[in-house]
């Protein structure tokens, strides 16, 4: 098994309740990842699975009491470290202290180009906090990227938000498609043709920074590259469950393994669902299970629902343009 990058969800605790958060009601569970489980997972991933990068997430990872120690350990093991945060005050304290002594990468989420739009998704004052955290992280030598999750709720401001992130001088931006998981209901996912139209608009913007755009709906000529089928992803959650795709988080027995501190223990009840009908075997299996209507909509546009890890590079510093 080769897993280049591992995701460690350090805690379910969070100081916000974002409208589109896929973690959902688990945020009400005050569970932190046991330090022994985290330590063993990092060491095993580095030694056995060839992992070179670790991302710390949550909940809000900066609320995890051992995050500084976790960053230090990862750097000692020669990992590239990434912290994915909502950009609140705890992040500024973290980046200022520089645990481990070396800079790391910080990814901050933005949901709008101004306080009104962003704060409406997260909480009052969160936009100003996120901007301050970006500035503080960069001032202390860390690289910083942005995350923009787009749904019906913020589609109108998506281009404006990307312009803002370019002005902030971020290293790059990841653009995610909001699906109906966690707190996000079926009213939030964008129509297929609207997502494709946004992609075309983004390509025409000529942003001055690299942009990684979730493909979401691929042409039928492009084979589905499922992260579960190819075993390229591992995500350790605070309760010890290990997922190969976060799309299965809300599914019963959606985790493929448990981590016992030394080894991955297979979940005998996990089975990769298959979409039945005209799109059988082509759509993301998880999306086929939670939103068959979206799969049918994709088929009408001669597309299939792609893996959430299938991204294309738009914006500056990209190579040859990819075909639709």
Closest CA to 215 of 290, 302, 324: 324
148 belongs to a structural domain:
yes
Residue 320 lies in a domain: no
Residue 322, in any domain of the structure: no
Rounded distance, CA 54 to CA 46, Å?
A: 10
Expressed as residue numbers, the domain containing 109 is 5-267+308-315
Element (H, E) at 139: helix 126-139
Query: Does 290 reside within a domain?
Result: no
> Would residue 303 count as lying in a domain?
no
C-alpha 227/C-alpha 212 separation (Å) is 17
| CATH classification of the domain holding 15 | 3.20.20.70
pTM (predicted TM-score): 0.92
Rounded Cα–Cα distance for residues 40 and 263 (Å): 9
In a domain, 281, yes or no: no
Is 211 a domain residue? yes
**How many structural domains compose the chain?**
1
Burial class (CB in 10 A: 0-12, 13-18, 19+), 28: exposed
Cα 160 to Cα 156: distance, rounded to the nearest angstrom: 8
From first to last of the 324 residues of the chain, give the pLDDT tens digit.
899 999 999 999 999 999 899 888 888 889 999 999 999 999 999 999 999 999 999 999 999 999 999 999 999 999 999 999 999 999 999 999 999 899 999 999 999 999 999 999 999 999 999 999 999 999 999 999 999 999 999 999 999 999 999 999 999 999 999 998 888 888 999 999 999 999 999 999 888 899 999 999 998 888 888 888 888 899 999 999 999 999 888 888 889 999 999 999 999 999 876 543 344 448 998 888 888 899 999 999 999 999 999 999 987 754 433 444
| 156 domain residue, yes or no | yes
């Amino acid at each position: 098994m080769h897993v280049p990058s591992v995701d460690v969800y350090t805690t379910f605790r969070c100081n916000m309740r974002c409208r589109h958060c896929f973690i959902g009601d688990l945020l009400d569970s005050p569970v932190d990842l046991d330090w022994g489980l985290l330590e063993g997972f990092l060491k095993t991933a580095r030694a056995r699975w060839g992992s070179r990068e670790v991302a710390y997430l949550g909940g809000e990872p900066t609320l995890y009491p051992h995050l500084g120690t976790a960053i230090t350990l990862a750097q000692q093991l020669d990992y590239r470290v990434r912290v994915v945060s909502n950009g609140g005050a705890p992040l500024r304290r973290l980046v200022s202290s520089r645990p481990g002594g070396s800079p790391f990468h910080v990814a901050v989420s933005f949901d709008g180009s101004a306080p009104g739009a962003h704060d409406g998704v997260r909480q009052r004052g969160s936009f100003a906090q996120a901007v301050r955290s970006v500035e503080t992280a960069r001032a202390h030598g860390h690289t910083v990227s942005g995350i923009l999750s787009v749904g019906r709720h913020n589609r109108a401001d998506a281009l404006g938000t990307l312009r803002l992130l370019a002005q902030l001088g971020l290293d790059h931006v990841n653009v995610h498609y909001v699906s109906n998981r966690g707190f996000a209901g079926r009213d939030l996912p964008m129509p297929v043709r609207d997502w494709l139209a946004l992609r075309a608009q983004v390509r025409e913007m000529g942003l001055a920074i690299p942009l990684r755009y979730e493909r979401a709906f691929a042409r039928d000529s492009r084979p589905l590259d499922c992260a579960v089928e190819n075993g390229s992803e591992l995500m350790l959650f605070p309760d010890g469950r290990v997922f190969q795709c976060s799309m299965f988080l809300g599914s019963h027995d959606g985790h493929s393994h448990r981590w016992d501190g030394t080894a991955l223990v297979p979940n005998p009840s996990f089975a990769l669902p298959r979409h039945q009908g005209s799109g059988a075997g082509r759509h993301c299996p998880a999306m086929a299970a939670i939103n068959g209507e979206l799969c049918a909509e994709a088929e009408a546009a001669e597309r299939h629902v792609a893996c959430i890890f299938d991204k294309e590079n738009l914006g500056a510093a990209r190579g040859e343009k990819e075909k639709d």
